[in-house]
Chains A and B, each alone.
Chain A
Amino acid sequence: MCPVAETKEAPLIELRGITKVFPGVVANDDISITLRKGEIHALVGENGAGKTTLMKILYGEYKPDKGEIRVKGQPVRITGPSVAISHGIGMVHQHFMLVPGLTVLENIILGSEPAKGGVLDTAEARKKIEAIMAANAMPVDLDVDVEKLPVGLQQRVEILKLLYRGAETLILDEPTAVLTPQETNELFKTLRALKEQGKGIIFISHKLDEVIEIADRITVVRRGRIVGELPVQEATKAKIAEMMVGKPVLMEIPVPEVNVGDEVLTLEDVTFVEDGVKKLDGITLTVRSGEIYGVAGVEGNGQEELLKVVSGEYRPTSGKVMFGKQAVNSLDPLRRRRLGLGHIPADRQKQGLFINMPLYINAVVGWQWQDRFSRRGILNYKNMRTTAKEVVEKYDVRTPSVEVPANALSGGNQQKFIVGREISFDPTLLVAAYPTRGVDIGATEFIYRQLLEEKSRGKAVLLVSADLDELLTLSDRIGVLYRGRIVKEFSREEVTPEKIGFYMLGGREE
């Protein structure tokens, strides 16, 4: 461990020897970190490594069993988020805490409304917020419904909320997980501006490229302990990844050479109109066996509709969807599953799992019709449990048993479970939507390997992702989706991130 350099000024935040034990697990084991003024300190580690627990201790949501928290050199006891904010500590959660239906301004002042003689004084607040926005180059229209804002701006509102309350330390929990590359760049601009002003930022992330780009110092946590702290100058992706996982991680996953076979999925001139809007506009694409076809694009350009047209939840308004040589336009999701469709859904909690039901039931979601799970309408729980245990074992899902409900698992483990479930049923066509969103690097590598393995086994994979690196790593061909059209298709050899970015933002060929 590197010794922390002594500076004249006391650091903004100092955590000393923090230990937190949950039944059966040491979530934090003697963790000490510091955050100085004007510093971005990245905290990286796999899911379950203890990052979030540590931050919840700092934010007052948990009480540490041992250890001390100092703010500007003074020992403090943080008993709750309101105490944290009074010490200038604010946190942006992964899931935003905004009230839909209220304007941006109302959301920002909610909970600390300025009042004059009992009457809400928004003019004052507006002035203050506008000053903050100007100082940090983070403009937002204050009078629109916060629900109408894109995710990147919603996140900006969250940050404004904290700054408005006078936060000097910002904790960002995987802030880029939900952002497009462009939005991520905007966020980084904001963070740099905040740093200039002497704020301290704790940045939690799995995305090592981003960590290296934005952080000043990086602390790696594994299994509740700090395995190392290094200045960004000394950091490389491979080095951090190895520290995180505890063994070398192959960042460059070898992509197997596979002979491409017959067309498995074909879309011919598929158009989908909803409420008079062309969500998909004449899409033509094919995915062949032994091939991964990537779909790139800024979210909201038709990805959701494309996925649903392929899965059978939506029927195309015109055009043709074919599995192999069979037209499947009129087939519902169940019939398409019977033809060998596997589907890693875009939203694991909303679509992929029944989060209050035990894992053994979740293990057969989408495959419940198979004879071994229900014969003559009677369920076979024994086979469900067996299947669930196989998925848990083979795909390294961390869970005490298959009896627990899905919501007892962390996001990364839920995702591994879904990926495992879909692959273990041996589909011919695998639709993978954002397969590694919010998943740590170890699990990401694992999921990549699984997808490539499917390709090697001659399966066809349709990969929709917001992560360009992911698309570039895995795809044999990439189509760029813009306003419901595939505006450009690249082969693996000719593609670069810049080229994709150009078309993603609506660029056209000269």
Chain B
Amino acid sequence: MGETARDSEPRQLASEARDRVRFEEEALELADQVYRVARRLVSTREEAEDLMQETYARAFRSWRSYTPGTNLRAWLLRILTNLNIDRGRRKQRAPAEQPLEEGDYYLYNRLEQSSRDGNVDEERVLERLSQGDVVDALSAVPHDFRDVIVLVDIGDFTYQDAANILDIPIGTVMSRLHRGRRILKRELAETAGGGGE
């Protein structure tokens, strides 16, 4: 190593430290949003908290592999979903049982049938569903479908981001999303339109 390289070393280190601090701050600012997605990818709050800590520990260690200017939230969620799979959630190639799926109008039709005057008031119908119903219905959707719904509909990721995060083709994202939402609505119909009346 020559004289010049040695001289510039402290300055390089200082600039690297600055970049790292900036990265850490940006990553932490996104933590609420990352958590919201993480919480729905796993079943319990404890799992979500563990997963968040593992994700941030890894992100802070490998911050150099993040390309500034790209989507940091997607980068963090890619780490998170990979860790989630490593933790024992193997990629389910073919679910043992095919999830039941109905058309996109199914939930509305069921609600309409079960309402007294046959007239569905959207606002009032939604009031019949509780937060717990929705969370339960979502967790009843098989992983492969749920991951995509959570990323796109709850995490606001584009199809392309979701494809990158889950490492699957964009066409697969779309088909899983469409089928997944139908499965979710069928689950909701069981909860909201099924019992009670």
Q: Do A and B associate with each other? A: no
Residues of A at the B interface (CB closer than 8 Å) are: none
